[in-house]
Amino acid sequence: MPTALVAGGGIAGMAAALGLARTGWDVTVCERAEELAEVGAGLQMSPNATRVLDWLGVLDEVEATSFHPQAAVMVDGRTGEEVFRTALADAAVERWGSVYLHVHRADLLAALTKSAQAAGAKVRLGTQVERVVEHPKSATGHLSGGDVVQADLIIGADGIRSHLRRTVSSEEEPRFTGQVAWRGLIPADRVPEGLIPPDVTVYAGDARHLVVYYLRGGSVINFVAVQEQDDWAEETWSAPGDPDALRAAFSHWHPTVKALLEGVDECFLWGLFDRPEQPRWVDHRFALIGDAAHPMLPFMAQGAGQALEDVAALVRHLASDEDVPEALVEWEEERWPRVTRIMQQSRDNGRMFHRPEGTLRTISRSIIGFVSRNSPSTAAARLDWLYGYDPVRGRG
């Protein structure tokens, strides 16, 4: 039985553990945290991602605790005027072949962890893979505490601040984008009934935007609010934010936004950092996946989805080629162009959301709105390359 060591017990790591264990691998996951706590907030799982969840056998469980948005909508943050709308729900299944879900990160991670362990994967908490050493026919992971684990494959799934990224390439300093983001959850019963529609809504404006959607059957509202700022010290997801500062940043926006933010009593604040595309994710029997390989800005809602795509493609290549190093090279060659395109599109979306008032914004929104209203199918087609892709089979 081939053996795999996975560094990191987040979504990428647990999905990899599950995918490999279900296909006959002996898998050990090392997670440096002492417990798998409920951290993070909402995730958008577009059809390319839920297709992988279905293949992993966890879609039904995840869907039971999720929310089905009716549409993806952009509105003007100041006026509330709708810019464009793309139908989701049944329309997403009909066009792209799988559901579009809003999922709490903790619910997704719990489903993946439970299924991975049921499939035979072992999880070691409070343990970090500190370095990887390659050998001709194996690799060894040197763990905190002094243990050494030998494996046929080692996967670095240790996140955006990957400790193992330097195994395959020199670490470049991340670049602060000039944007900070608040995130948080609001109980739905804390805001006026009907205030927030059953969609994923982007309120876009000059130098800031707000993304809002429901989680957990509509009982919770997830929000991410992004504002341009001159400087920031630390890249972290868990720094406490000031709800009053959040409300002040959007005090001149539409009454819907202001009413929503009145319900915030706790939030987190983090700086958005961009990194250049890593030229390599693979070294012999070691591979980076997810944010460790390709950390991306959140403006395409594809971070978790691309980690799941990584896993599906990786397992497929390993199944078709018993030579692990060769399979990893083929996997990297397949994944790199697609992920790079998504990273660039995320940057472009950030600029579009924050475009200042003026002729260019007026023209671009007019064109987008005209197409959305008069030819919804044409508007949806711009997402076919992303949502219609099948990473399980490797085709769009």
User: At 143, which helix (H) or strand (E)?
Assistant: strand 139-143
d(CA 394, CA 98) in angstroms, rounded, equals 16
Q: Closest by alpha carbon to 130, among 99, 98, 103, 166?
A: 166
For residues 251-268, b (16+ Cβ closer than 10 Å) or e, as one string?
A: eebbebbeebbebbeebb
Instruction: Retrieve residue 166's tokens.
Output: 């330097």
Instruction: Retrieve residue 228's tokens.
Output: 């341009």
The answer to whether 221 touches 188, Cβ cutoff 8 Å, is yes
Q: Which of 213, 214, 387, 389 is catalytic?
A: 213
Instruction: Retrieve residue 364's tokens.
Output: 């671009």
User: At 214, which helix (H) or strand (E)?
Assistant: strand 208-215
- The pairing of strands 286-288 and 153-156 is parallel
To the query of whether residue 213 is one of the catalytic residues in this protein, the response is: yes
Task: Tell me how many helices (H) and strands (E) the chain has.
Answer: 12, 18
Burial class (CB within 10 angstroms; exposed 0-12, middle 13-18, buried 19+) of 91: middle
How many beta carbons lie within 10 A of that of residue 150, not counting itself? 13
Q: DSSP letter at 390?
A: B
Q: Closest by alpha carbon to 12, among 144, 145, 135, 164?
A: 164
CA atoms within 13 A on the CB side of 132: 27
CA atoms within 13 A on the CB side of 82: 15
The per-residue DSSP string of 67-122 comes to: B--SEEEEEETTT--EEEEEE-THHHHHHHSS--EEEEHHHHHHHHHHHHHHTT-E
Rg of the Cα atoms in the chain: 21
User: What positions carry a catalytic annotation?
Assistant: 213
